[in-house]
Chains A and B, each alone.
Chain A
Amino acid sequence: MGSIKDVFHRMGSPRFFYNGSSLWVRGLYIGGTLGLIIGSFWGLVLAPPDKYQGDSFRIMYIHVPSAHLAEMVYFACAMAGFVYVVWRMKMADVFIAAAAPVGAILTLLSLASGILWGMPTWGTGWVWDMRTTSVLVLLFLFFGLIALRQAIPRPDRAAYSVAILALVGVVNIPIIKYSVEWFTTLHQPASITFANEPTIETSMLWPLLVNTIGLYIFIAGVILAAMRVEVLKREQATEWVRDITRSMQR
């Protein structure tokens, strides 16, 4: 038990995090980029066209991973919000500050790719149905996390308010996920679920899985890198950051 507590405490230390994360960032960037290149080549060149949608279905290899990752990043922000509210762990707030802009860009990417997929497939880029609207709400929630932090001058109060907003907003995640089952929407239901066999042909499924894993790894690297920036901003007056700059001068 002592060692778990010890790891928990060390993970909460900005200095420990900064010193230990540099190699991870490089590894995750390289791994994620390779995954995305392989998955995209597979999806664009090797996968066969869809029987009904033709080649426009290849947008799925960007749309599905970015939408999934956007939801996961928000969920992770909510978990970090919980950790901050309960234990006041500084690194949990650092995580939210670093991940919120990344989540916003992923949500924008998911919406843009959805619009460009909808144009040839649905005949319209946008409909105000439950799936598209709840994803738009997700974008506003990410914007809210960013704006709320900037609006409150006291950092501890800002961190607490952002953590609460992240926790409250997590209610939107099951709404996004089940919107295609609970409501009548133009958006198709999920092709991959834990309970059932995938309804997508295997030759189309593999590139999707590779791209999704690649994006997971890449985004993990981006969030770690953004957390390092956030740690440096907050700790720049501390002795350990000065030690780093002194070692850079030598």
Chain B
Amino acid sequence: MIDFYTWAAMGGHGLYVWSVYGISIVALVVLGAWPLRAEKKLLVRATERTDLEGGS
């Protein structure tokens, strides 16, 4: 059984391996969150527009 620090060092390639996984996590979180936020914003804007039309 190897210890955590030996595993995290990735045989001296830790900088490359963890950079790739870090970049990937950021990219996938942004990819996943962006359309959900954009949809919410569009629906809020559409609701405000419907409110204005209903009030006028």
Contacts and interface: CB of A to CB of B under 8 A. Distances in A.
Interface residues of B, number: 31
B13 A109 contact: no
**SS class, residues of chain B in contact with chain A:** helix
Contacts of A241: 46
Interface string A25-69: 000010001001000100011000100001110110011001000
B32 A55 contact: no
Q: Which of B7, B11, B23, B39 has the most CB of A within 10 A?
A: B39
B24 A62 contact: yes
B56 interface: no
**SS class, residues of chain A in contact with chain B:** helix
A54 B42 CA distance: 48
A229 B42 contact: yes
Contacts of A221: 32
Contacts of B23: 109, 112-113
B21 A222 contact: no
Contacts of A249: 47, 50-51
Interface in A188-238: 218-219, 221-222, 225-226, 228-229, 232-233, 236
19 contacts: A54-B13, A55-B14, A56-B13, A109-B27, A113-B20, A113-B23, A113-B24, A116-B16, A219-B31, A222-B35, A226-B34, A228-B39, A232-B39, A232-B42, A233-B42, A236-B45, A245-B49, A249-B47, A249-B50
Interface of B: 7, 10-14, 16-17, 19-21, 23-24, 27-28, 30-32, 34-36, 38-39, 42-43, 45-47, 49-51
9 nearest A-B residue pairs (beta carbon): A225-B35, A55-B10, A56-B13, A54-B11, A55-B11, A245-B47, A226-B35, A229-B38, A232-B42
